[in-house]
Amino acid sequence: MSTSKPRILVTRGIFQSVIDRLSEHFDVESNPEDVLWDRDELLRRLQDKVGVFSTGTERIDAALLAQCPDLRICANMTVGYNNFDLSAMSAAGVLGTNAPDVLTETTADFGFALLLATARRVTESEHFLRAGQWTRWSYDMFSGAEVHGTTLGIIGMGRIGQAIARRAAFGFGMQVVYHNRSRLDAATEAACKASYVSKQALLQSADHVMLVVPYSAASHHTMGAAELSVMKPTATLINLARGGIVDDAALAKALRERTIAAAGLDVFEGEPRVHPDLLTVPNVVLTPHIASATPGTRQAMADLAVDNLIGYLVQGKAVTPLNPEVLSRA
Ligand code: DGY
């Protein structure tokens, strides 16, 4: 009888504790040098694997699955899973899992970091200071937008949107309006002091707009030129969600022409590339997709992916399955 362990692939550099835990159950091929494998390389390495620990950027689609007949589970360490073609995975009997909840509060904190930095012109003024341009105090130097007591519009009112709403309402005395595919129940609305409005009403009334909507074909360019033109000229836009939710070229134009005041972006279309026009406008704060990046939260996200791999491949059940129909067929 063969005693060999099932083989799994870890696609990117990750905590050693992740490799150690997985190695108790599996024969693990990892990527300690954190090399960015192209699609062919990923396919080659997936050949004899039953599971993959993924980081949200590896595209798992019908073409890949057709060439990986042994694969049974893809476990993202991210809450976003727009790298998965879930219907192709279900058709191939491959389970997809993500890492919700464990990053909610950390990501909401970062939403506020970006909002405050953007509205109060923190990075723009720091660049000015570092460049040696600060020679005197003046009454209107880097005067920014008020945050407390203003209206925050949240598009996408899932767990992270709700955590942002609570901070806004109870911490900053903001009025919170939201738009979502479906309206929250009354108790949840009351818990985050948020009112449901149409997208148009939100864009017209909000002093600050925060995007926390998951990426899908339906949410592609949720904010394009038409939507940006409805926002107040004094308003700020924050994208914490995914690249592609905002039309970055249209946003750069709006920022350059000051049809909106400023933007704070943690995610970009085609990242890690950034639209060149965004790099040359001063009224934008740019961060490299770090909203969930604290050691504790990234560890918790990675641990949840490990729980899913061990749970499914060893015990036949996953903690956060995205296509649970696969479980009943396993
Ligand atoms: C997620 O979990 O989807 C984040 O965007 C990655 O930090």
Instruction: Kindly tell me the burial class for residue 151, based on how many C-beta atoms sit within 10 Å of its own C-beta (0-12, 13-18, 19 or more).
Output: middle
Buried b (16+ CB within 10 A) or exposed e, 186-197: eeebeebebeeb
- C-beta of residue 267 within 8 angstroms of C-beta of residue 240: yes
Q: Is the pLDDT of residue 330 over 80?
A: no
- What digits encode the pLDDT tens for the residues 275-306? 999 999 999 999 999 999 999 999 999 999 99
Average pLDDT over residues 139-144: 98
CA 315 to chain centre: 30
- Looking at residue 329, its pLDDT comes to 77
Whether residue 325 lies in the annotated active site: no
**Which among 242, 269, 275, 298 is annotated as catalytic?**
242
Q: Is the pLDDT of residue 251 over 90?
A: yes
Nearest ligand 1 atom to alpha carbon 56 = 3
Closest CA to 114 of 191, 197, 211, 254: 211
Tell me the CA end-to-end span of the chain in Å, nearest whole number.
Answer: 23
Q: Is the pLDDT of residue 328 over 90?
A: no
- What digits encode the pLDDT tens for the residues 51-76? 999 999 999 999 999 999 999 999 99
Q: Please list the residues that pair with 291 across neighbouring strands.
A: none
- C-beta of residue 6 within 8 angstroms of C-beta of residue 50: yes
Q: Is the pLDDT of residue 3 over 70?
A: no
Task: Map out the domains of the chain with their CATH numbers.
Answer: 7-101+295-329 (3.40.50.720), 104-286 (3.40.50.720)
Could you count the other beta carbons within 10 Å of the beta carbon of residue 227? 21
- C-beta of residue 194 within 8 angstroms of C-beta of residue 176: yes
| Residue 169 DSSP label | I
Ligand 1: residues with CB < 6 A are: 56, 78-80, 103, 292
Ligand 1 mutation pick, 78, 109, 213, max ligand atoms within 8 A of CB: 78
Instruction: Kindly tell me the burial class for residue 153, based on how many C-beta atoms sit within 10 Å of its own C-beta (0-12, 13-18, 19 or more).
Output: buried
Q: Is the pLDDT of residue 236 over 80?
A: yes
Whether residue 289 lies in the annotated active site: yes
